[in-house]
Amino acid sequence: MSKPFLSIERLTQKFPDGQGGELTVFEDATFGIEKGEFVCILGHSGCGKSTIMNILAGLAEPTSGVVKMDGFEVSGPSLDRGVVFQNYSLLPWLSTLKNVTFGVRARFPDWSKAKVEEHAREYLAMVGLEGDVVHRKPSQLSGGMRQRVSIARAFANHPKLLLLDEPFGALDALTRGTIQDELLKIWGGTEQTVFMITHDIDEAILLADRILLMTNGPLARVAESVEITIPRPRNRTEIVDHPNYYAIRNHLVQFLGQRSKELAGQPSGGADQRPTAVSIDKTEPPEKAPEDPAAPLRAVNE
């Protein structure tokens, strides 16, 4: 069996619960992500999404289990895994441009100063930041602009894997839309693999190839892997007309609203906890649809 590009194997995370006991956030979580894939993970607040992402980034160590990228075990942070933090994490004493060159210099230490700056400006321009704005400090930028800088900083480093933790959570709908489009544009032109946390269902459908659904914690599970069977390029106003859109959306809403609670709190009993693959496709004639283990799950939308 060939391993996926990113392979999460039997990941377990426990924290002290503050009363002498242990809190198991998730147990034996096992899933993979293919090269070039855009994967979103959806789940209620507190279920352990950020914990998973910090482990993928190498910023935190799991209690047990391994993460492998390209066959190599992840140990500690790496320039191959770029992170866009929820709160942007720009360095406030540096200008916008310097925040990006900071990353580029770390990635390409033998580049000349001029080349580093040119590269940084190119990526800032890609997210719509040009001209005098690049000399402003983060405190002089709006939330949306800061998030763009953060995305430019991550993309400019050409990481093999891009990790985004609720990157648009604090933005207004309009700004959100623009940056989503920019993210898709940059991702489309590269070989990059994206793993993104969100709690916005529509955002996930617009962006993702596949959505991982997490049940509530403690003892959360990555319960399902839902394929987004809507062809690209997608456009936020047109995808709603696609026959699969509402079927997928209802499935996700149903999961988050109900089954995320029902499926919560089950110990793994030592077995790998793999997500069930779900593919909802209304464009095919129903009689041709093959029976698969996901069929009962599909029933809820029909």
Instruction: Provide the binding-site residues for other proteins, judged by CB under 8 A.
Output: 57-59, 76-79, 81-83, 85, 87, 89, 91-94, 102-103, 106-107, 137, 139, 157
Pairwise CA distance, residues 89 & 147, whole Å: 9
**CB-nearer residue toward ligand ADP: 82 or 217:** 217
Task: Give least dist CB 93 to other proteins, A.
Answer: 4
Q: Would you give the distance in Å from CA 251 to the centre of its chain?
A: 19
Contacts with Mg ion by CB under 5 A lie at: 50
Q: Which does 79 bind (CB under 5 to 8 A by kind): ligand ADP, other proteins, Mg ion, none?
A: other proteins
Q: By C-alpha distance, which of 157, 174, 163 is closest to 40?
A: 163
List the 161-165 sheet strands across, edge first. Answer: 81-84, 161-165, 193-198, 38-42, 210-214, 222-227, 276-279
CB 16 within 8 A of CB 22: yes
Taking the least distance from each CB to other proteins, the nearer of 139 and 237 is 139
Closest residue by beta carbon to ligand ADP: 50
Which of ligand ADP, Mg ion, other proteins, none does 48 bind, CB closer than 5 to 8 A by kind?
ligand ADP
Residue 87 or 283 with smaller CB distance to other proteins: 87
**CB 166, min distance to Mg ion, A:** 6
CB of 148 vs ligand ADP, minimal distance in Å: 23
In the complex, the smallest distance separating the C-beta of residue 169 from Mg ion, rounded to whole angstroms, is: 9
51 binds, among other proteins, Mg ion, ligand ADP, none (CB under 5 to 8 A by kind): ligand ADP
Whichever of 50 and 268 has its CB closer to Mg ion, that residue is 50
Cβ neighbourhood burial of 295 (10 Å; 0-12, 13-18, 19+): exposed
Which does residue 25 bind out of Mg ion, other proteins, ligand ADP, none, counting CB within 5 to 8 angstroms by kind?
ligand ADP
Nearest CA to 152 out of 198, 84, 91, 92 is that of: 84
Minimum distance from CB of 5 to other proteins (Å)? 19
For residues 34-61, b (16+ Cβ closer than 10 Å) or e, as one string? eeebbbbbbbbeebbbbbbbbbbbbeee
As measured in angstroms, the least distance from the Cβ of 35 to ligand ADP is 25
- Smallest distance from Mg ion to CB 64, Å: 21
Q: With CB cut-offs between 5 and 8 Å by kind, which of other proteins, ligand ADP, Mg ion, none does residue 15 bind? A: ligand ADP
Q: Which does 46 bind (CB under 5 to 8 A by kind): Mg ion, ligand ADP, other proteins, none?
A: ligand ADP
Residue number with CB closer to ligand ADP (137 or 199): 199
Q: In whole angstroms, give the CA distance from residue 284 to residue 275.
A: 24
- Nearest residue (CB) to Mg ion, 50 versus 63: 50
- The entry of other proteins, ligand ADP, Mg ion, none that residue 263 binds, CB within 5 to 8 Å by partner kind: none
Binding site for ligand ADP (CB under 6 A): 15, 25, 43, 45-51, 217
CB 30 within 8 A of CB 274: yes
Per-residue three-class SS string for 52-97: HHHHHHCCCCCCEEEEEECCEECCCCCCCEEEECCCCCCCCCCCHH
The whole-angstrom distance between residue 9's C-alpha and the CA centroid of its chain comes to: 18
